[in-house]
Amino acid sequence: MGMTMTEKILAAHAGVGEVRAGQLIEANLDVVMANDITGPMAIPVFYQMAEKVFDKEKVVLVPDHFTPNKDIKSAENAKSLREFAHKQGLTHYYEIGEMGIEHALLPEQGIVAPGECIIGADSHTCTYGALGAFSTGVGTTDIATGMATGKIWFKVPSAIKVNVTGKPSRFVSGKDVILHIIGRIGVDGALYESLEFNGDGIKNLSMDDRFTIANMAIEAGAKNGIFPVDDITLSYLKEHTKKDYTIYEADADAVYSCELEVDLSEVRPTVAFPHLPGNAKTIDEIEKGEPIVIDQVVIGSCTNGRIEDLRKAADILKGKKVNSRVRVMIIPATQNIVLQCIEEGLAQIFIEAGCSFNTPSCGPCMGGHMGVMAAGERCVSTTNRNFVGRMGHVESLIYLASPQVAAASAIKGYIANPEVIL
């Protein structure tokens, strides 16, 4: 009986020949990551177990949620990370001037690679599965244990095989694909399972599409999402990492709990309505109803703040003005992406259109800062969650969408189809 990609990676890191779904294993870790919310809570627990981290090259700290610091508490949290990083001599510590949103920064900096076993004290750590790694979010105590020992216990997840075929249309991106999937299976449709993507349609998904899809695997309840390593992945890795890595492929007779067929040519621009990522509606369904007037648009986050996302938004916004009733925030995910936006003229397009162009930060995604909403306000956002009170007041409403839908909506002042703009 064969193994899935996830099972092969976990078996290798547990030092055993094979593992099966439901089995408990202790796995060696390649990367342990925390941010300015979770890291400060993990540090005191860490010191109950050890004085030194297991490997200063493998522990990564990124203050990105409340940076630049919005208040005294967030400043103290960032200070605790900074002091810990310096005391431990960590190689990978990224703050203002070098920083970025963690799940965009780690792949960009070549810190994560195929075949690795990665944990992060943030639920969207599953992003790195786009590179063929097993990566998952864990709690603060697990992060402290990982920093101290370089090992952690896992229950091996069962897997759902997602067969991807076809080619997406011009205005369909990775965000639409994952919202389409979550809309079909629900927010608990892959509970503690691995979403394993396969099929010849994957070649029609860019790396940025794959990062977005893997990032939101958790929104279907998944333990992780993972893509096979192909020529597109290898090209990305050649540009971004110097690490040695191992490529794992699922066996032909691997066991899956079920299979899901996704034809990219049939996926339409999709929006998740409040208050769940699974409350998905196509743009065609939305256009049949009354216009949904909005107050705010956010384009950025670990889900959709990469350069390809911003290029797509700029294509929509170029030469146009955002609606006078709508405030629009553009938040590139890393400093390198900020620089690309300046060099390519995207920053000028955004500013001339009437958008704010902000420093890398998670910011408004979880109601941190730079975009907190008041009661009754509606926001179209390229972020990953639209729970009650996620971006501010409990009576505010969040609609999750792609950068193209978000940009079109910014111009129209209501949730709009990008196909009618270009």
pLDDT confidence of residue 184? 95
Cα 37 from Cα 32, distance rounded (Å): 15
State how many domains the chain has: 2
User: Which domain range does residue 285 map to?
Assistant: 271-420
Please state the rounded mean pLDDT for residues 227-244.
96
Confidence at 325, pLDDT banded by 50, 70, 90: very high
Taken in order 307, 312, 317, 318, the sign of the CA dihedral is: positive
- 46 and 122, same domain (yes or no): yes
Scan for tokens 């709990």, then name that residue.
257
* Beta carbons within 10 angstroms of residue 139's beta carbon: 13
Q: Is 215 helix (H, G, I), strand (E, B) or coil?
A: helix
- 53 and 180, same domain (yes or no): yes
- 158 and 282, same domain (yes or no): no
Domain boundary among 264, 285, 319: 264
- 206 and 322, same domain (yes or no): no
Cα 321 from Cα 298, distance rounded (Å): 16
In the DSSP assignment, the letter for residue 16 is S
Q: Give the pLDDT confidence of 144-158 residue by residue, as tens digits.
A: 999 999 999 999 999
- 227 and 282, same domain (yes or no): no
Q: What is the CATH number of the domain that holds 296?
A: 3.30.499.10
- 353 and 242, same domain (yes or no): no
User: How many Cα atoms within 13 Å fall on the side-chain side of residue 59?
Assistant: 26
- 161 and 260, same domain (yes or no): yes
- 162 and 279, same domain (yes or no): no
Please state the rounded mean pLDDT for residues 26-37.
95
The least confident of 139-148, 336-345, 368-377 is 368-377
- 279 and 415, same domain (yes or no): yes
Domain boundary among 232, 264, 296: 264
Residue 228 CA from chain centroid, whole number: 18
Domain boundary among 209, 235, 264: 264
Q: Give the pLDDT confidence of 96-132 residue by residue, as tens digits.
A: 888 899 999 999 999 999 999 999 999 999 999 999 9
Please state the rounded mean pLDDT for residues 200-207.
97
- 162 and 311, same domain (yes or no): no
Please provide the average confidence, as pLDDT, over all residues in the chain: 94
- 282 and 240, same domain (yes or no): no
Q: Which two tokens stand for residue 197?
A: 């993507």
